[in-house]
Amino acid sequence: MELPLNRNQLIAVGAAGALVLVAGGYLVGRTVSPAPQVEAADEHEEEEGHGPEGFVAMTADRAKTAGIAVEQVKAGGLASEILAQGVVAPTPTGEAVLTARADGAIVRINHRLGEYVRAGESVATMESRDAAALSSERSSAEAQLALARSAYEREQRLYDAKVTARQDLEGARAALSQAEAEARRARAAASASKVSGDGRTLAVVSLISGRITKADATLGSFIPAGTELFRVADPSRIQINASVLAADAQRIQPGDRAVIELANGETRGAVVRSVTPGLDPESKTATVVLEPEGSGGLSLGQGLRTRIQPAGADTSRIALPEEAVQSFEGRDVVFVRTANGFQATNVVAGQRGGGRIEIVDGLRPGTVAATRGAFLLKAGLGKGEAEH
């Protein structure tokens, strides 16, 4: 009877062992199974573009569409910047005034306001009695030249044949020279007035390539000589005329760097070309001429603000627009542009003035930071923190 008892005991022990193994496997499964879920969560988090704390994922195109502008941080605090209002103006060779070269009537207008014309292209045509007179003088001078040349050649042959005296040959040579000078004068006068070949019309010709910015010509109207008819400007040849106080003008030298602030919040570099030695009698300010780096986004007559940075100024600090510094959770932050978005960076702000704020610590020159629209990044950061 002991053998069956031992068999039952063995069966009971085996069943208990199986239960222990099953329970152990369940517990082991409970302990190990979350690992794949964590990995999936990490992958999902990376797919959503989550970064370190204070990071806002945003592509450059999306930021531009949202109206977020960026600016490269440059050395120079508020004391080293000279703020001045400027106006976009054409360079001396960037604008041409087209006037009537003689009295006459407008009989043809070839181009309208805003259209592009090339240098030497006719913009309008005038009928003028002066054109007929200039053409007649040119024809007469050409005829006199031909006659004088023929007389000189005849005298040369006679002199070579020892028929006439040398005095007659020299007289014919002097007459030829005089006729040549008169012919050159008549041709130049007709050419300057753009007289046509038939001598009836004058062409109003553009001196430069560009767009017509002003058109006062009316078809059929009689125009006195010297009347302005058109203006043509080349949008690629522009400069910035900035007005500064006399004390500030003394600190500025050609070659100094400057920054142009555009209406959309973007900035563009510029270089000081010259400074007027005198002051405007009405505004009592000097004019600083700046050469912008590129003409895109700038229009003639456009008003904007410039920041001139004289050489030798204190560059131990930097300055940014006030809207670039946002307050988040009790600290001042600036959103620095990264490869995939913007990173909130703690900064120490200093004095303010002229819509700008000085950064004492936290940023380095060369960093690209969000300026206009930085509050949108702050809102996105707050939303992301709430979701986390």
Domain coordinates in residue numbering, the chain: 2-32, 55-74+316-387, 82-93+234-309, 97-233
Q: Are 195 and 139 in contact (CB under 8 A)?
A: no
Q: Are 90 and 237 in contact (CB under 8 A)?
A: yes
**Hey, what amino acid is at 273?**
R
CA 281 to chain centre: 31
Q: Angle CA(285)–CA(289)–CA(293) in degrees, nearest 5?
A: 140
Sign of CA dihedral 240, 243, 245, 246: positive
Q: What is the pTM of this model?
A: 0.58
Angle between helical axes of 129-160 and 166-192 (0-180°, round to 10): 160
| Domain made up of 97-233: CATH architecture | Beta Barrel (2.40)
CA dist 137 → 99, 121, 126, 192 (Å): 23, 25, 19, 14
> What is the full DSSP assignment across 333-353?
EEEEE-SSEEEEEE-EEEEEE
Question: Matching CATH topology for 82-93+234-309 and 97-233?
Answer: no
Assign domain 82-93+234-309 to its CATH superfamily.
Efflux pump adaptor protein, beta barrel domain (2.40.30.170)
Q: Are 286 and 308 in contact (CB under 8 A)?
A: no
For the domain bounded by 55-74+316-387, which CATH number is listed? 2.40.420.20
Digitized pLDDT (tens) for each residue of the chain, 388 residues in all: 344 444 444 444 444 444 433 344 433 333 333 333 333 333 333 444 455 678 888 888 888 888 888 888 877 766 678 888 999 999 999 999 999 888 888 889 999 999 999 998 999 988 877 777 776 777 788 888 899 899 889 888 888 888 888 888 888 889 889 988 988 887 777 776 667 666 678 888 899 999 999 999 889 889 898 899 999 999 889 999 999 988 888 888 899 888 898 877 678 889 999 999 888 888 889 999 999 988 777 888 889 989 888 876 656 677 788 888 888 888 888 899 998 889 888 888 877 876 778 788 888 888 888 888 888 888 887 665 555 5
